[in-house]
Chain A
């Protein structure tokens, strides 16, 4: 009998949410344990899929496929599957899913609703990465809005309702246009199956509007999510005002939906258009990297600082995707994974610091190294991974992106653009080290004398992040082997050497 692994992975979190909803006596401890168990199950299963994934398979095929008839009237089916790229994203999501539960371990305000939304959120993101059907993809893309809206606006801080609505309006604008794009695509190709569309030469198909039009309709939604300058303004607000765990999910996996969409749709379906658009998009990537880093330097709020650093780091993803070489695409995917783990950890650390000191203002923090030895070590590791220190996952990912895009021959100005964005690393080093110095070093402050260090659950959580960072840093091939299975098929289409 075939075990529907992907369906199980996808719906275990929601099953957990249902169990939590039905608990007769909802105590915070039981709720969080239930949530942890279900996310762990989902995580272990996804590791199982990872181990069972056929790395030698012919390029471009989906594995662990499941297909059921769902809505034949518009050619849509319940169709799941993973290739190298989506598999890595799926692992990232289930991993972050477990860790967010640990990050939320001490949430006591309306815990039942909180954990339900968190679990629903995980399923919706998993759905985005595992759907092979366009409509399913779109539906999961939209589902994610509801939990995010509530999570930010109920459990957030600051101008939380404003930020939540801003996030929703931005995303819904993008996804509205994406729907138009998906429907156009459907009538041009006659199928909702991504794997089939990827193998169709769209430039020969008769489309309702020019291919570039469909490309743009789809791109806008992903560009908002990634985010690409100048569509990034929702990000600092949403990240800053969200509760810690949600910031971790946002930075950790939600942004990756944008990058994933670009690889799967824009590059995978329209390689020729992607080639034409690449110079513009790579230039935007440079703006992302440099402008994002420059603005990060100016931040005084610890959380906002990390938020802006995401803009800069996701610029590298954009650079790698549209350099359109096998190496750069692999690098971009690895960078997504790396950024998910590293920035997830950074947000978790900011949450820790804030929980203990009740302060996020860089001007008021200082000298915490003495009170919080563990926190400072882990925060430094995360920071160093973020600036791409060799031996951490950050180095492997950024190196691949730079090497890949520097050697790109499809895009004429690739070398200049790559060099420019490599300068971003310098700025990153600047803001990371400066931030570490202002928060942890300098003379210890009186008011933080009795601030406790990380406790056991927190240590478990942050050390898991560190372990992943180290593992990928030392042996990136564990992921790149898989990613390459996915990118190989893409680069065949692009026709790059």
Chain B
């Protein structure tokens, strides 16, 4: 047992406690945010040290510290920096409880980081709950009608999803007698089945676990909560939910399904097809419903559902064969990193604009190009990246993940996915069009705070950098993809 392997999580948790205690003495914005950012930096440094280490399992195989896990820790930390900066301007709404707000964000991040490492069912469940419970509170943090509704909805549906997940896990445990993923895999192999229908318990376990995580990664048919929660929750939290919690969720799904159900190959192909089907449904529903939205947060909610659909293309590719799975895993990791920057960037711009205009309606973005040119430029870049046009990270991510899928013979899935991106052009470009071509509601310029501008700048610089020289991150994601324990 080597505590150093947990240093990123422990240091972040320690920061959370410090911030909470600080809140008793002073809840000055600068201090709270400064300490939080410092904690993130420390955690990042620890994670960077782990990156150069050799992949190993620790705590009796409960956690695995491989580059794949560390890569997702980086993603969570990057999202954390952006969400903290994005909250700097927003937290006047939560002034009384500012320290608690940031504490909860930090704790949920600890949960997500653990989740990306967990390779044992109980640990997976506990880390998932650790992040979820903080996020339930955060979603309802504003305590107005919308936000309370969002919090309650998230809590109730999230609990159902947790129960489903646990139920599924209990089947898997009952069948194999193990909770560690690697041992589950060997137990399943020793059952020597010839098809899933031979063993209804395994089928049930597999489907229920997929369902439980489907909620987390907002896959069809568990996407119902997304628009309501995204609309009602404080906007920085919405952004955070849409990226960090999704990224860690995908990391966990990847690990469970690949490690525990990856072999024999027919089993992998079975759940691969399951995810391929879900992927088509998810992206199609997300894209089509997004075209009809009038509220930008709801539009982004459906857009993030659609994006989850594209990511699931990668998930399906991972399942199809052991030999090429690393490439698909790398693509998945790269896509999530690019998506984190892009979506978070978009939300930062939305926060900056909507905060001042007090409206989330898309029509009110009309003429934003004249009222806040830099914000509009940033939001345009993010939307273009979500759509997947060059020279942005979004394009490379899509090419990379579709590439992996074609390699696995999933051309039909890729064709559905690329046609879906055509649909998405409509709603992303509609916002772009309004921002630059619409008549402004008023001529009054919309100022934004330095923190928000920094966050937006970081996100946009990342998007462009990864779009033009993707190899910087591709190398890291390749290492991550190959390192999975």
A47 at the interface (CB under 8 A from B): no
The digit string for A417-438, where 1 denotes a CB below 8 A from any CB of B, is 0000000000000000000000
Q: Could you tell me which residues of chain A, from 172 to 204, have a CB within 8 Å of some CB in chain B?
A: 172-173, 176-177, 179-180, 183-184, 186-187
Q: How far is the CA of A137 from the CA of B482 in the complex (A)?
A: 29
Query: Can you give 18 contacting A-B residue pairs, CB < 8 Å?
Result: A69-B471, A72-B471, A74-B399, A74-B400, A142-B390, A146-B389, A153-B437, A168-B429, A172-B425, A176-B418, A176-B419, A176-B421, A177-B419, A183-B399, A183-B411, A183-B414, A208-B409, A208-B411
A337 at the interface (CB under 8 A from B): no
> How many cross-chain pairs have Cβ atoms below 8 Å apart between A and B?
89
The digit string for A302-324, where 1 denotes a CB below 8 A from any CB of B, is 00000000000000000000000
Q: How far is the CA of A72 from the CA of B411 in the complex (A)?
A: 22
Q: Which residues of B have CB within 8 Å of A177?
A: 415, 418-419
> Contact at B474–A73, with CB atoms within 8 Å?
yes
Chain B interface, >50% SS class: helix
> Contact at A184–B400, with CB atoms within 8 Å?
no
CB distance from B190 to the nearest CB of A (A): 35
Number of A residues with CB within 8 Å of any CB on chain B: 35
Residues on B facing A (Cβ under 8 Å): 327, 330, 384, 389-391, 395-396, 399-400, 402-403, 406-407, 409, 411, 414-415, 418-419, 421-422, 425-426, 429, 433, 436-437, 469-471, 474-475, 478
> Contact at A208–B429, with CB atoms within 8 Å?
no
CB distance from A68 to the nearest CB of B (A): 10
Partner of A145, one of B327, B389, B421, B469: B389
> Contact at A176–B422, with CB atoms within 8 Å?
yes
A70 at the interface (CB under 8 A from B): yes
> Contact at B399–A70, with CB atoms within 8 Å?
no
> Contact at B389–A142, with CB atoms within 8 Å?
yes
With A169-B426, A179-B399 in contact, is A71–B470 under 8 Å at CB? yes
Q: Could you tell me which residues of chain A, from 54 to 83, have a CB within 8 Å of some CB in chain B?
A: 69-74
Q: How far is the CA of A252 from the CA of B422 in the complex (A)?
A: 26
> Contact at A208–B389, with CB atoms within 8 Å?
no
CB distance from A475 to the nearest CB of B (A): 39
* Nearest 9 CB-CB pairings of A with B: A176-B418, A183-B406, A139-B390, A143-B390, A73-B474, A173-B422, A74-B403, A180-B415, A142-B390
Q: How far is the CA of A150 from the CA of B414 in the complex (A)?
A: 29
> Contact at B478–A73, with CB atoms within 8 Å?
yes
With A139-B391, A139-B395, A208-B409 in contact, is A172–B422 under 8 Å at CB? yes
Q: Which residues of B have CB within 8 Å of A209?
A: 411
> Contact at A154–B437, with CB atoms within 8 Å?
yes
Q: How far is the CA of A74 from the CA of B409 in the complex (A)?
A: 16
Q: Could you tell me which residues of chain A, from 108 to 148, have a CB within 8 Å of some CB in chain B?
A: 135, 138-140, 142-143, 145-146
B423 nearest CB neighbor, chain A only: A169
Q: How far is the CA of A172 from the CA of B470 in the complex (A)?
A: 22
A297 at the interface (CB under 8 A from B): no
Q: Which residues of B have CB within 8 Å of A153?
A: 433, 437
Partner of B429, one of A154, A165, A186: A165
> Contact at A187–B407, with CB atoms within 8 Å?
yes
Q: Which residues of A have CB within 8 Å of B422?
A: 169, 172-173, 176
CB distance from A195 to the nearest CB of B (A): 21
> Contact at B403–A186, with CB atoms within 8 Å?
yes
CB distance from B466 to the nearest CB of A (A): 11
Q: How far is the CA of A146 from the CA of B394 in the complex (A)?
A: 14
> Contact at A180–B389, with CB atoms within 8 Å?
no
A453 at the interface (CB under 8 A from B): no
Q: Which residues of A have CB within 8 Å of B391?
A: 139, 143
B425 nearest CB neighbor, chain A only: A172
> Contact at A169–B418, with CB atoms within 8 Å?
no
Q: Which residues of A have CB within 8 Å of B406?
A: 180, 183-184, 186-187, 208
